[in-house]
Amino acid sequence: GRTTLVIDRDGIVRKVYPKVKVDGHVQAVLATLRTI
């Protein structure tokens, strides 16, 4: 499987998406990025 990490400008891991599934993944990551 694949894991996606969202890391902010300070190098802090803000969100971890374990066992990524392709469907809807981009939208979920973009939604997280909009909150940081």
* Three-class SS state of 16: strand
pLDDT for 7 equals 96
pLDDT higher than 90, residue 32:
yes
pLDDT higher than 90, residue 30:
yes
Residue 8, Cβ density class (10 Å: 0-12 exposed, 13-18 middle, ≥19 buried): exposed
pLDDT for 16 equals 97
pLDDT higher than 90, residue 15:
yes
33 contacts 5 by C-beta, under 8 angstroms: no
4 contacts 17 by C-beta, under 8 angstroms: yes
Q: What is the mean pLDDT of the chain?
A: 93
